[in-house]
Amino acid sequence: MTDLSLLVNQYKELSNFAAVVNRLSELDEGMEEAKSVAEKFAMQEPGSEVASVDNADKQSYIRFLCLTNHANGGRQELMRAENMCLTVPTTKRPLVQNLSFSVSTGDSMLIMGPSGVGKSSLLRALVNLWGFGSGTVHRVRGTFFVPQKPYMLLGTLREQMLYPTWSDLADEGSGKFDKVCDPEVPPMPTDTELMEVLHRVGLSQLASVSELNKEIDWAATLSLGEQQRLGVARCLLSRPKLALLDEATSAMDATRENIVYTALHEAGITYVSVGHRSSLIAHHNKVLMIDSLEKHSVEDASAMSAR
């Protein structure tokens, strides 16, 4: 009777276990799909489409094209968005309609507007993290996304800083890593370079070999502002052609925010930011203002500051 009652007695535990397995299976499939798209983007010829389309409405999806390396007035175009239309996935409420803009080397663009108009959704759509809408994104290889709350993995501070560019090490400590997803990955930085970047983003208290080797719960140890500075440090180490910052300095005071953007500017990184503070305008040369569904414009940041 005990043996035959096993399934009945353990039904709740077995059903919970099955639900966890299903979720992990879906996550694994999603990660494999994302990796496949990243590999295609790294290997495709300029102008080739890399995003897969499996939705029912083939006319309503965001296409991603590898941008051709041509100069525009002496500057290389790094990203161009055409006719972007975004919607809320649950209610289908439109967020942005018919938005087009471009970003070239040396640009620093700030996306501003009231809460709820779709600023962060637009930024995520540009890196294929938001697939609800339509439009075309032309983008070069070497784009780095910095979220508002950086992911803190379990491990040492060194591993935190090397994530995600050098997270797939082939041999622990050997300096070898997988370049499949991005053949333009720079060499893995040394401890000296890691500590130098920590100084540049205002985290000098962590710039020591002992701290780099420390394995603690960094998400609970560092404040959100410190985690955001660590996220920018990852970007500086990766040296991308284009960085997208989704309110990446929202938890910082004005002084540290200035330190972070000065470091990005001195590193020669072209960046696009989403933010609410008017103080951010001083760190950008143009502003994309999204006021409502179809009311958006690109303005000169210096003229906007003067007003």
Residue 195: CATH number of its domain: 3.40.50.300
In a domain, 84, yes or no: no
User: Tens digits of per-residue pLDDT, 43-66?
Assistant: 555 555 555 444 444 445 788 888
- Give the pLDDT confidence score for residue 177 in this predicted structure: 40
Domain contains 173: yes
Q: Does residue 76 lie in a domain region?
A: no
Mean pLDDT (whole number) for 83-109? 89
Note down the domain range covering 257: 146-283
* Residue 239 domain flag: yes
Note whether residue 305 is domain-resident: no
Give the pLDDT of residue 179. 40
Please write the tens of the pLDDT for every residue from 215-271.
999 999 999 999 999 999 999 999 999 999 999 999 999 999 999 999 999 999 999
Contact 288, 112 (CB under 8 A): yes
Please state, in angstroms and rounded to a whole number, the distance separating the CA atoms of residues 151 and 27: 17
pLDDT over 80 (residue 42)? no
- The pLDDT of residue 174: 40
Residue 214 within any structural domain of the chain: yes
Number of separate domains in the chain:
1
Edge-to-edge strands, sheet with 286-290: 143-146, 242-246, 270-274, 108-112, 286-290, 296-300
In a domain, 9, yes or no: no
| pLDDT 10s digits, 245-261 | 999 999 999 999 999 99
CB 245 within 8 A of CB 120: no
143: closest CA among 242, 277, 268, 38? Answer: 242
More confident call, 184 vs 191: 191
* Position with higher pLDDT, 74 vs 115: 115
Of 29-43, 147-161, 273-287, the least confident: 29-43
Instruction: Classify residue 24: in a domain, yes or no.
Output: no
User: What is 215-272 written as a DSSP string?
Assistant: EE-HHHHS-HHHHHHHHHHHHHHH--SEEEEESTTTTS-HHHHHHHHHHHHHTT-EEE
